[in-house]
Structure 1
Amino acid sequence: MIPVRITLDPAFRVGPVRRRTFGSFVEHLGRCVYTGIHDPAHPSADADGFRQDVVELTRELGVSTVRYPGGNFVSGYRWEDGVGPLAERPRRLDLAWHSTDPNTVGVDEFMRWTKAAQVEPMMAVNLGTRGVQEALDLLEYCNVRSGTRLSDLRVANGSPEPHDIRMWCLGNEMDGPWQIGHKTAYEYGRLAAETARAMRMVQPDLELVACGSSGVPIPTFGEWERIVLGESYEYVDMISAHAYYWEEDGDLGSFLASATDMDHFIESVAATADAVRAHKKLAKRIHISFDEWNVWYQHRAESKPPTGDDWPVAPVLLEDRYNVADAVVVGNLLISLLRHTDRVHAASLAQLVNVIAPIMTEPGGRVWKQTIFHPFAQASRYAVGEVLRVAIDVETYETAKFGDAALADAVATYDAETGAVALFAVNRSTTQPALLEVDVRSIPGLQLLEASTLANPDHTWSATADDDTSVAPRANVSAELVDGRLRVEVPPVSWNVVRLGTRA
């Protein structure tokens, strides 16, 4: 077995566990909204047409925030099309995904869904084809109580109380040549600053997210963040990070080490933001909203939008079927987000339903959990208190994409109030089991509450509507805690959770 020595000490803390780390994303893309969260013909649908079986799984998943309505979609979106009587709402071409949007679901319906799902909304504004005034209009419609044209319109449309949306994304991926209204860093930085300043005139305490670069491989990465924050630093709270380029392409070893790349991404953005802070001589620190992240197989046929005269409503798009290795990587990416909780103040797994998602649906039919559902749900449920800076001693292995990587990775959380400790760990070895030896003597009186492992001899196993339970986290009976030393054996390509506490 691979020896993995881990030491936990509550004196070494990264920062608090942030509930917003466990956010998700609903975009008007493919079947995420229509036949995803919204399916009026489904037996479980409520008065607005929202599937209650999806609402229940969203709660079980432990989602804290949901970003809406895009994504690439937002850069051509007219929010006014999605409010008021359904019969009067126009059908529009969605240029981002070569589809037609019927606007059956708009801001008011979505806000009612967030209340049913018990999640916090994160609203994105269109800074592609639109600008400052349209962002102000949407803010007035959503957050002003009454007495103005747009706030009174919301009341007339059936929402008497303000939606009170606190988090706002200032556009989406504006450095991407694929983006409608694509801009240079200087153009976008000025627009973001002007929009943020105007929105704060309405509500000074909003939390505003500027667009960061669309990913490390983008040529503008780093320089984009520097220029954008140079223009907007004083007016925004966070800068976004997006990453989807992790996928297994025949190199399983590199794929399992994807979190090392997320570590680099986060640390690079933080360093750039801090450089701007130093240059401007400001006390304020900009944090990161990692509001799009997941494994995504972008070269598969289902990731290709329609073309030509075909502009369908809710086409099958980006419907990746995730396997066990994908779940281990998603769990490891969550480990990376948690250990950077000092700088990552929000994150969104993209997306929630059907589109590169943990939840899948059949139109009018069944709902089921993909493999990636489980690590997210466990981390959201058990990560509480403070994130600990754990010490890990383990061998490394060579990867083609990321160089040397540790054969195992882990993070832990500790709640001083309840005495609860949670250890999240992955074994990246493709062939060898590992023995986790965890020193927890610094926290006296701990008991072993539970240990579980998600793994399968066939790392390519995927869930279906017929079987989403035969491979799920199972009790790991090898775990034992003696005199403050925890030992647990874990198989190759595995996601593992151990829960300890000072009382049962």
Structure 2
Amino acid sequence: MRKVTIKTKGAQKEMNPLIFGHFVEFMRDCIDEGMWSQLLKNRGFDKRKDIPAGVVDGNPNVAEGWVRTGCKNAFEITLDAKESIARDGYAQHIVCYNDYDGYVGIAQENLVLEQKEYDGYIWLKAREETRVLLLIRDGQGRELFSREFSAETNWKKYSFAFCPDRACREAVFEIRLPGEGEIWLDGASLMPSDRRAGIWREVYEHIEALKPPVIRYPGGCFADCYHFADGIGAIDERPYRRNRHWGGYTDNSFGTDEFLALCEKLGCEPMICINFGSGTPQEAANWVEYCNGSADTAYGKMRAQNGHPEPYHVKYWDLGNEIFGEWEIGHSSSEDYSRRYMEFYRQMKEKDDTIVFMVCGGEGDCRSQDWNRMVKQVIGDHMDVLCLHMYALKSMEGKRFRNEDIYYAVAGSVKKYEEILQESWHVMNDGTEKQKLLAVTEYNLGTIIDSYREQTLEAAIFNAGMLNMFLRNAEKLLLCNYSDLVNGWPGGCIVSRDGHAFGTASYYALKLYAESDLGTILEIETDSPVYDTEEQIGNIEPLSAVPVVDAAAGINSAGEQIYFVVNRSLEEEAEICLPHMDCQEDGSSLAEVTTLYAPKTSDMNSWEEQNIYPQVTTLALPDRKVCLKPHSVNRIRILKKQEM
């Protein structure tokens, strides 16, 4: 058993809760499907089917994700760009020339429905007043719901609500033209009625439990191909756009107002990453005005017309994401970035001179400070915060390593990141009058996409170490964002599917810290054994003198001391000797110890089994010593005398 002593140094720092922040991006199923509770795909009929050469049974005149239904009637189905209610989109056009007691329609299949309330609508228009039938059936064709509408000659939204009498995983949503006529369909919607700010209820509850103080949006790499005007205004009139960075499409249902409404409901600060890569300074300034301008400005008036008369007062604005990287849209040198940044700065500041300007820093996984020095030289005091991204491991370049060696490199890489953080701080604040803060706007284990290593206990141990590092350096940091909040890539701390959700090991580690209600950070000294690593693994070079036990500490609003302790050892327990604390009459202390542990660091939670979750014990500590499991994350709360 390893013995470790923790000593308080007397100094205290003010707690900064923004270091427990999060990040969402239009990447895969992070926002669409993962968060936003829309059941229908391509609900505006705006994406045509891609029919490969030689395929004869595809129908390019039926929108992607939909199928033609019906029999007997003579009909024609087309996609009509002239009649679409969405910008740059299509309406689904259906004509029945001859009714032979049949019908023609379109349907979306394989929807997952539960026995609860749903609401939805469909936009309809007809050449002349025409009957239209909406049907929802289970996978065996049995009716769950039906409603008949009389389509009129102008576009009109027809709403409905229902509760199926049974759950099914292969439901069919069908719109039929049951007789002769000509209609156009657009903007269909089907969502659960128990959603929260448009988010799946269960997913929202998981987010809420994390107490996110700040959320970054809409990217990430996606930010540098996103045009905010696509995501404002009437939701069914927004365009369907290709995701130029990650692939796929988004219908822009979750735009600026929806994101800010979610932040308001959660009580957290929004952080917006502007389109620096393919956007313009004017576009960025317009976005600032839309969010923060008064209702008598051009874009403030637009916001008011969209339902929010008062300004949102968004403080934090991130100017460019990973512009240093060749993978990024708008990639440039540090000098070119810095000079172009000044154009954005001037126009955005004219719209609101109170916002916090956050600058793209150099690659946070690299020790070089060349990018940051150029940013400081060119931009100078026309910035407030330098942003870094920190992803341990990333890839292993095809070389095989022992799992034990990978684990110790990953867990120990926090030491490397702490050194990079401190060096970045010194570079940005050397010889300057205006203090510049740092932000770690993305961090996580970050292995090869789809490895799912990011969901293991190993990842939670790394991320808990990062949180300890943030606490130790809180005076240097404005905020930090865990990447990602939901799905996206396997690093999402919340896993969501069909409206259900579970937390990964990192989710529970993040929650352990965020719910602790810290008000003050204690400066501590940890006397721990150390270890070295010998090989370069991914982007983690050989490390020396990595503490086996890593710790941070604080005091909560109730005046209780809280210690966060990570035991990195794979096999050995750690005996922690804590500083002096509140005692009972017999001299012993009482502590609540919450632990994240599993037999193996490769263990992870899944839909079938929740292997890693907080386990709470209350211990008497007559000699101020606590024994911690190997490879574990721990929170030790010293109970005040009145709780004993």
Q: Same fold (TM over 0.5)?
A: yes
Is the contact made by 1:197 and 1:235 (CA closer than 8 Å) also made in structure 2?
A: no
Code of the residue aligned with 2:287 in structure 1: it is L
Task: Kindly indicate whether the alpha-carbon contact (under 8 Å) linking 2:425 and 2:438 is maintained by their aligned counterparts in 1.
Answer: yes
Q: Of the candidates 443, 453, 476, which is equivalent to residue 595 of structure 2?
A: 453
User: Would you say the 8 A contact 1:433–1:491 is kept in 2?
Assistant: yes
Matched, 1:6 2:6: yes
Deviation of 1:178 after TM superposition, in Å, equals: 0.8
**Greater CA drift, 62-71 or 82-91:** 82-91
Q: Residue 33 of structure 2 corresponds to which residue in structure 1?
A: 35
1:164 aligned partner: 313
Shift of 1:418: 3.2
Residue in structure 2 matched with residue 487 of structure 1 by the alignment: 625
User: Does the CA-based 8 Å contact 2:365-2:417 persist in structure 1?
Assistant: no
Name the SS for the 1:111 alignment partner.
Answer: helix
Residue 450 of structure 1 deviates from its aligned partner by: 0.9
Asked whether the 8 Å contact 1:44–1:51 carries over to 2, the reply is: no
Distance in 1 separating the partners of 2:478 and 2:197: 32
How far, CA to CA, are the matches of 1:374 and 1:239 in structure 2? 28
1:139 aligns with 2:288: yes
- 1:466 counterpart residue number: 608
Q: Is the 8 Å Cα contact of residues 480 and 488 (structure 1) preserved in structure 2? A: no
Q: Tell whether the 8 Å contact from 2:453 to 2:459 is kept in structure 1 after alignment.
A: no
Task: Tell me by how many angstroms 1:266 deviates.
Answer: 0.7
Give distance in 2, aligned partners of 1:246 and 1:261. 12
Deviations 1:324-346 (A, max 9, x none): 12211111111011111010120
Q: Check 1:288–1:143 CA distance in 2 against 1; reply closer, same or farther (3 A cut).
A: same
Quote the residue 1:191 is aligned against.
340
1-structure distance, mates of 2:5, 2:315:
42
Indicate conservation of the 8 Å contact 2:37/2:499, yes or no. Answer: no
Distance 2:355 2:228 in 1: 20
1:414 corresponds to which of 547, 555, 573: 555
Q: Deviations over 1:72-107 (max 9, x none)?
A: 001111110111123322222222112222212110
Q: Output the CA distance in 1 between the equivalents of 2:567 and 2:453.
A: 24
Alpha carbons of 1:444 and 1:135: their partners in 2 closer, same or farther (altered >3 Å)? farther
Q: 1:331, 1:495 within 8 Å by CA — same for their partners in 2?
A: yes
Q: For residue 439 of structure 2, give the secondary structure of its aligned residue in structure 1.
A: strand
Amino acid at match of 1:12: A
- Partner of residue 311, structure 1: none
Distance 1:44 1:489, change over 3 A: farther
Report the residue type matching 1:18 in the other structure: N
Match of 2:74 in 1: none
- Give the match for residue 392 of structure 2: 245
Distance 2:259 2:526 in 1: 43
Structure of higher RCO (CA pairs closer than 8 Å, 6+ residues apart): 1
CA contact (8 A) 2:583 2:589 kept: no
Q: Which residue of 2 aligns with 1:404?
A: 545
| Structure 1 residues 53-81: Cα deviation after superposition (integer angstroms, max 9, x where no partner) | 22211111121100000110011111101
Looking at structure 2, the residues matched to 17 and 345 of structure 1 have their Cα atoms a distance apart, in angstroms, of 11
* Aligned residues with identical type, % of pairs: 26
* Equivalent residue for 2:483, pick from 340, 344, 350: 350
| TM-score normalised by length of structure 2 | 0.70
Secondary structure at the residue paired with 1:8?
strand
Q: 1:366 to 1:288 in 2, by over 3 A?
A: same
Instruction: Tell me which amino acid in the other structure corresponds to 1:427.
Output: N
2:242 counterpart SS class? strand
Return the letter of the residue paired with 1:116.
Answer: K
User: Which of 508, 521, 535 is the equivalent residue of 1:374?
Assistant: 508
What secondary structure does 1:124 align onto? strand
Give ranges in structure 2 of 5+ residues lacking alignment.
40-190, 535-541
- Per residue, is there more helix in 1 or in 2? 1
1:124 to 265, 273, 278: 273
- Paired letter, 1:39: S
Structure 1 segment 12-411 matched on structure 2, within 5 A: 12-13=11-12, 15-41=13-39, 43=192, 45-46=194-195, 49-217=198-366, 221-246=368-393, 250=403, 251=405, 252-275=407-430, 278=431, 282-298=432-448, 300=449, 302=450, 322-355=455-488, 356-362=491-497, 364-382=498-516, 384-400=518-534, 401-411=542-552
Partner of 2:152 in structure 1?
none
Work out whether residues 232 and 255 of structure 2, in 8 Å CA contact, stay in contact via their aligned partners in 1: yes
Q: Report what 1:438 is aligned to.
A: 578
* Counterpart AA for 2:621: L
Question: How many angstroms does 1:192 deviate by?
Answer: 2.0
- Paired residues, what number? 471
Query: Do the aligned residues in 2 keep the contact of 1:480 with 1:487 (CA within 8 Å)?
Result: no
Taking the aligned partners of 1:290 and 1:84, their CA distance within structure 2 comes to 32
In the alignment, is the contact (CA less than 8 A) between 1:59 and 1:118 conserved in 2? no
Q: Please say if residues 131 and 191 of structure 1, whose CA atoms lie closer than 8 Å, have aligned partners that are also in contact.
A: no
Q: Distance in 2 between matches of 1:370 and 1:47?
A: 22
Is the Cα contact below 8 Å between 1:419 and 1:501 reproduced in 2? no
Secondary structure in 2 matching 1:30: coil
Offset of residue 427 of structure 1: 0.7
Corresponding residue of 1:312:
none
1:258–1:333 Cα contact (<8 Å) kept: no
Once the two structures are superposed, residues 392-419 of structure 1 have per-residue CA deviations (whole angstroms, 9 ceiling, x without a partner) of 111111213312211111010124x632
Measure the CA separation in 1 of the matches of 2:22 and 2:453: 16
- The offset of 1:48, in angstroms, is 5.8
Q: Which has the higher strand share?
A: 2
Q: Deviations over 1:162-207 (max 9, x none)?
A: 1210111011111111110111111111222332233223222211
Quick one: structure 1 residues 60 and 44, their matched pair in 2 at CA, closer, same or farther if it must change by over 3 Å?
Answer: farther
2:187 is aligned to none
Q: Kindly state the Cα deviation for residue 383 of structure 1 after the two structures are TM-superposed.
A: 5.1
| Aligned residue type for 2:625 | R
CA distance in 2, matches of 1:80, 1:180: 19
Give the counterpart letter for 2:436 in structure 1.
Answer: I
The alpha carbon displacement at 1:321 in A equals: 5.3
| Distance change >3 Å, CA 344–CA 48, structure 1 → 2 | closer
Counterpart Cα distance in 2 of 1:59 and 1:120: 13
Q: Is the 8 A contact 1:39 1:45 kept in 2?
A: no
**Structure 2 Cα separation of the partners of residues 48 and 324 of structure 1:** 31
TM-score normalised to structure 1 length: 0.89
Shift of 1:131: 2.5
User: Which one-letter code corresponds to 2:544 in the other structure?
Assistant: G
Q: Contact 1:366–1:465 (CA<8 Å) still a contact in 2?
A: no
Q: CA 1:448–1:115 in structure 2 vs 1: closer, same or farther (change >3 Å)?
A: same
Q: Structure 1 residue runs of 4+, over 4 Å off?
A: 443-447
Aligned twin of 2:113: none
- Aligned partner of 1:150: which letter? Y
Alpha-carbon distance between aligned partners in 1 of 2:545 and 2:579, rounded to the nearest angstrom: 25
